[in-house]
Amino acid sequence: MTCLPAHTEKKLGLVIDLDTCVGCQACVTACKEWNTGGHMAPLTDIDPYGGHVDGVWFNRVHTYEHMTEMGGRTVNFPRSCLHCEQPACVTVCPTGASYKRASDGIVLVDEDKCIGCKLCSWACPYGAREFDTDVGVMKKCTLCVDRIYNDNLAEEDRVPACVAACPTSARHFGDLGDPASAISQLVEARGGVELMPELGYKPTNRYLPPRARTERAARVDAPALEPIRAEGGFLGWIDRMLSN
Ligand code: SF4
Ligand code: SF4
């Protein structure tokens, strides 16, 4: 049994916008790339080019088809540790390897204390724990502790790798314990939600729900493109070349 801090000074976490995530996996690969060479290295790959690909990924994106009155809609759902306020993954740990930091609320694993019993992965309802079979220890998202406090990086780069990589700015990082922070105000403005609050883990991360499609947006066809082959100039030349 491992104790939790009575309170944390900050609640650092992520806000993920399900309206603008396009499921490109940039956050997934940026996470793997940064952590493979950084704080949690190495992150094992098993049969990476074969038929039974497996390994350690701290961030995974799942894609669902959701039916609405306007028709089908694709929802991309990135999933990683939510740095819960009441994480049973920590309290269940028999060695103190899993812990929650009082300073910023980040949940981490001390590999030197981990005995690989996997109790934490059973306790996490979000599937956010990743067991590394090569080294026999549990690993997970660190919220890029080796980036966000890294004085060697430019200030704008001191965000988790997934946030820096997202091409649609669907990922946001900050202190969700400060109601005045930009990230808290974003949650307020967009009605951000906790994932499975009924479980009582009090996840720090929030998800911004997809905005409803308007009837107009659902029905307006894309405008027909005018042929430009007959045009002169550079565009006409490119169009003729590509059409050959
Ligand atoms: S999401 Fe899972 S691994 Fe992360 S703090 Fe919550 S219970 Fe623990
Ligand atoms: S990088 Fe951004 S848009 Fe791409 S899958 Fe991740 S959250 Fe979604």
Residue 23 Cβ inside 6 Å of ligand 2? The answer reads: yes
* Per-residue DSSP letter, 205: -
Residue 244 — very low, low, confident or very high, per pLDDT cuts 50/70/90?
low
Percent of the chain topping pLDDT 90: 78
Q: Tokens at residue 191, please?
A: 């009605």
Query: In the sheet that 171-175 helps form, which strands lie side by side, from edge to edge?
Result: 171-175, 12-17, 206-208
Q: Among 18, 19, 20, 21, say which to mutate for ligand 2: greatest number of ligand atoms within 8 Å of CB.
A: 21
- 110 alpha carbon, distance to own chain's centre: 21
Is the minimum distance from the CB of 81 to ligand 2 under 6 angstroms?
Answer: no
- SS3 of residue 113 by DSSP: coil
Closest-lying ligand 2 atom to the alpha carbon of residue 169: 2
Residue 171 beta carbon below 6 angstroms from any ligand 2 atom: yes
Alpha carbon of residue 221 to chain centroid: 33
What letter does residue 214 receive in the DSSP assignment?
P
Nearest CA to ligand 2 atom 8: 21
- Residues 236 and 244: their CA atoms lie apart, in Å, by 13
Q: What ligand is nearest to the CA atom of residue 208? A: 2
Give the number of the ligand closest to the Cα of residue 77: 2
* pLDDT tens digit sequence for 183-242: 999 999 999 999 999 999 999 999 999 998 776 665 666 777 766 656 677 777 877 777
Contact predicate 116/137, CB 8 Å: yes
Ligand 1 close to Cβ of residue 139 (< 6 A): no
Stretch 145-157: mean pLDDT: 96
| Model confidence pTM above 0.85 | yes
pLDDT of residue 74: 93
Using CA atoms, how far apart are residues 204 and 14, in angstroms rounded to an integer?
8
Helices (H), the chain: 26-37, 88-91, 119-123, 145-148, 161-165, 182-190, 215-219, 233-243
pLDDT digits over 102-127, tens only? 999 999 999 999 999 999 999 999 99
Q: Any residues with CB less than 8 A from the CB of 236 and at least 6 apart, and which? A: 228, 229, 230
pLDDT recorded at residue 229: 59
- Return the best residue to mutate from 8, 16, 58, 107 for the ligand 1 pocket (most ligand atoms within 8 A of CB): 107
* Nearest protein CA to atom 4 of ligand 2, as residue: 24
Which of 48-62, 63-77, 152-166, 228-242 is predicted with the least confidence, judged by mean pLDDT? Answer: 228-242
Nearest residue by C-alpha to atom 4 in ligand 1? 81
Instruction: Provide the 3-class DSSP secondary structure of residue 48.
Output: coil
For the chain, what is the largest distance between any 2 Cα atoms, rounded to a whole number of angstroms? Answer: 75
**Is residue 184 a contact partner of residue 69, using CB atoms and an 8 Å limit?**
no
Q: If you average pLDDT over every residue of the chain, what do you get? A: 92
- How would you class 11 by CB atoms within 10 Å of its CB: exposed for 0-12, middle for 13-18, buried for 19 or more? buried
